């Protein structure tokens, strides 16, 4: 999932440089959403690992 967030971030940067504001904004929003989902999944995974270990 982090891979896809980085891909959308790169697409947003390239679209922004080329002047495609709408595509850049949409790609940046998708990248941000995917990054936060990744962070939530990471936190849940770490908590579950600590709970199972105890």
Residue 1 has pLDDT above 80, yes or no: no
Quick one: average pLDDT of 4-32?
88
Instruction: Check residue 24 and give its pLDDT.
Output: 87
2 closest CA partner among 27, 25, 34, 32: 34
- Which token pair is 11? 């697409």
Give this prediction's pTM.
Answer: 0.74
CA gap 29, 48 in Å, rounded: 29
- Contact assessment for residue 27 and residue 9, using Cβ atoms and an 8 Å cutoff: yes
Contact at 8 Å (CB) between 26 and 10?
no
Residues 17-40 have a mean pLDDT of 90
Distance CA 53, CA 30 (A): 34
Range of the domain at 18: 2-53
Percent above pLDDT 90 for the chain: 41
CA-wise closest residue to 5 among 43, 24, 32:
32
The per-residue pLDDT for 33 is 92
Number of structural domains in the chain: 1
């Amino acid at each position: 999932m982090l891979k896809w967030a980085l891909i959308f971030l790169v697409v947003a940067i390239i679209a922004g440089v080329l002047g495609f504001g709408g595509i850049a904004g949409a790609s940046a929003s998708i990248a941000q959403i995917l990054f936060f989902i990744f962070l939530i999944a990471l936190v849940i995974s770490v908590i579950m690992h600590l709970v199972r270990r105890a």
